[in-house]
């Protein structure tokens, strides 16, 4: 049977020193900061961002930050996911739903020079509500600040901890689940292609248990 994989997206190991936040000296700093946070909350829920909402550039938090020598193939800028051209090349061979890959300019501390290479913002394009908490064996928790069923995946998730409906085998190869926060799901086909291309160094993942319901 086809496999399903889940990857926590809030791992410290993938959070870069880059940010999409505006510079503090900007006149509209507070307004842009609040706008960026609202968009990220939408992104966190796996909702496809509009053309106006998607990030177009990022830079280090501090202007004197020049010590970033190399960026990985898969990492986070704030809470947005960004991938290299090699990672994007593999993703383009699969069904990403209504989202897709969009160029993002990554600048160095001086806000003028760019990091070499081509980089892409990963815009989510599919939601599948197939996570089965009652059939899962752990590796998730409830948000203590929310009264609904919004759950968070743990960073130390292991194989078969997370159970999903077999319905996830249908449709796009990359998706989020509205009931499990900070979790990125991949089809077995996509995971295998990324592994074969040796692009999974920062993509920690665990195999899901598929349940016929």
Output the pLDDT for position 139. 77
**Between residues 141 and 81, which one has the greater pLDDT?**
81
Q: What is the pTM of this model?
A: 0.92
Q: What angle do CA 178, 121, 102 make, to 5 degrees?
A: 115
Query: What percent of the chain clears pLDDT 90, i.e. is strictly above it?
Result: 73
Reported as a single tens digit per residue, the pLDDT across 55-78 is: 999 999 887 666 777 899 999 999
Which sequence spans correspond to the domains of the chain?
12-123, 127-211
DSSP 160-188: TSSEEEGGGGSS-SEEEETTEEEEEEEEH
pLDDT at 45 over 60: yes
Query: Which structure tokens are listed for 78?
Result: 């704030």
Q: Which of 104, 111, 92, 116 has its CA nearest to residue 173?
A: 92
Instruction: Tell me 131's DSSP state.
Output: B
Reported as a single tens digit per residue, the pLDDT across 127-155 is: 999 999 999 987 787 765 555 567 889 88
| pLDDT mean across residues, the chain | 91
Mean pLDDT of 44-63: 93
């Amino acid at each position: 049977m086809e496999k399903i994989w889940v990857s926590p997206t809030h791992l410290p190991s993938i959070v870069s020193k880059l940010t999409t936040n505006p510079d503090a000296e900007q006149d509209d700093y507070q307004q842009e900061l609040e706008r960026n946070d609202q968009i990220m909350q939408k992104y966190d829920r796996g909702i496809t961002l509009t053309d106006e909402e998607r990030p177009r550039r990022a830079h280090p938090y501090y202007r004197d930050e020049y010590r970033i020598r190399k960026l990985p193939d898969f990492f986070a800028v704030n809470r947005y996911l960004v991938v290299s051209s090699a990672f994007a090349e593999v993703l383009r061979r699969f069904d990403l739903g209504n989202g897709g890959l969009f160029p993002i300019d990554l600048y160095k501390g001086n806000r003028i020079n760019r990091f070499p290479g081509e980089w892409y913002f990963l815009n989510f394009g599919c939601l599948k509500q197939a996570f089965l908490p009652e059939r899962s064996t752990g590796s998730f928790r409830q948000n203590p600040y929310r009264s609904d069923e919004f759950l968070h995946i743990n960073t130390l998730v292991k194989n078969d901890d997370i159970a999903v409906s077999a319905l996830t085998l249908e449709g796009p190869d990359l998706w989020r689940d509205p009931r499990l926060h900070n979790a990125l799901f991949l089809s077995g086909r996509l995971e295998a292609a990324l592994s074969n291309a040796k692009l999974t160094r920062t993509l920690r993942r665990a195999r899901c248990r598929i349940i016929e319901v």
